[in-house]
C-alpha cells in the first residue's frame, strides 16, 4: 500500500486529537473513510494507522472482564503522574519509611484542609495536595501492601 496525502492528513488530525486528549487511545473520523489510528509506544508518542476492512466476527466474553477505571480516576491519575515527575529528582520511594510517607500524607492533608477552609479556594493547589496525598498512599501500598 502506498501512503497518500489523505493518510498524512489523517495522521496530523489524529496527532492533534491525541495531544488535546491525553486519555484517547484510538481515533477515527468520517472524513477519512475506514482509517483508524491507535496511540502506541512505551511513551504513547507513536501513531499506528490501519485501514479497516470487513468485520469477520465479534467474539464476545472471551476473557475475564477488565473494565477501564472510571473517567475521574483516569484523569486524576495523570495529575498524580505530573506530581511524581516534578519530584523524580528525589530518586523514588523504595527506601522511604512508612512513618515518613505517613507524615507526608498528614502534612499535605493539613495544607489541603487550610485551602478548603478559604473563601477564595485555589483549585490548582487543591488538586496538587490531593495528588500528593494519593501518591504518598500509593507509595505505602507499593512498599508494604499487595494488590486487591
Q: In which band, very low, low, confident or very high, does the pLDDT at 112 lie, cut at 50, 70 and 90?
A: very high
Can you list the alpha helix ranges (DSSP code H) found in 1-148? 5-20, 71-86, 98-116, 123-144
- Residue 108 in contact with residue 136, Cβ under 8 Å? yes
Return the bridge partners of 11, or none: none
| Sequence-separated contacts (24+) of 69-75 with Cβ below 8 Å | 71/23, 74/23, 75/23
Of 52, 96, 148, nearest to 135 by C-alpha is 96
* Residue for grid cell 491519575: 77
- Report whether pLDDT(12) > 80: yes
Q: Which three cell numbers stand for residue 73?
A: 480516576
Residues constituting the chain: 148
Return the bridge partners of 37, or none: 27, 49
Rounded mean pLDDT, 88-100: 94
Rounded mean pLDDT, 20-37: 92
- Per-residue pLDDT, 56: 64
- Per-residue pLDDT, 55: 67
- Per-residue pLDDT, 57: 72
How high is the mean pLDDT of the chain?
91
Listed range (64-68, 71-75, 141-145) with the worst mean pLDDT: 64-68
Distance CA 79, CA 129 (A): 10
Q: What is the pTM of this model?
A: 0.65
- Report whether pLDDT(67) > 90: no
Amino acid at each position: 500500500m502506498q501512503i497518500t496525502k489523505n493518510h498524512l492528513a489523517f495522521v496530523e488530525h489524529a496527532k492533534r486529537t491525541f495531544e488535546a486528549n491525553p486519555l484517547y487511545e484510538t481515533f477515527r473520523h468520517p472524513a477519512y473513510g475506514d482509517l483508524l489510528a491507535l496511540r502506541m509506544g512505551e511513551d504513547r508518542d507513536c501513531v499506528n494507522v490501519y485501514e479497516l476492512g470487513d468485520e469477520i466476527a465479534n467474539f464476545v466474553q472471551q476473557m475475564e472482564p477488565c473494565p477501564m477505571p472510571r473517567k475521574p480516576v483516569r484523569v486524576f491519575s495523570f495529575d498524580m503522574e505530573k506530581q511524581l515527575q516534578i519530584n523524580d529528582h528525589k530518586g523514588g520511594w523504595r527506601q522511604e519509611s512508612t512513618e515518613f510517607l505517613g507524615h507526608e500524607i498528614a502534612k499535605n492533608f493539613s495544607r489541603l484542609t487550610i485551602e478548603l477552609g478559604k473563601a477564595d479556594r485555589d483549585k490548582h493547589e487543591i488538586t496538587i495536595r490531593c495528588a500528593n496525598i494519593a501518591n504518598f498512599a500509593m507509595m505505602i501500598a507499593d512498599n508494604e501492601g499487595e494488590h486487591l
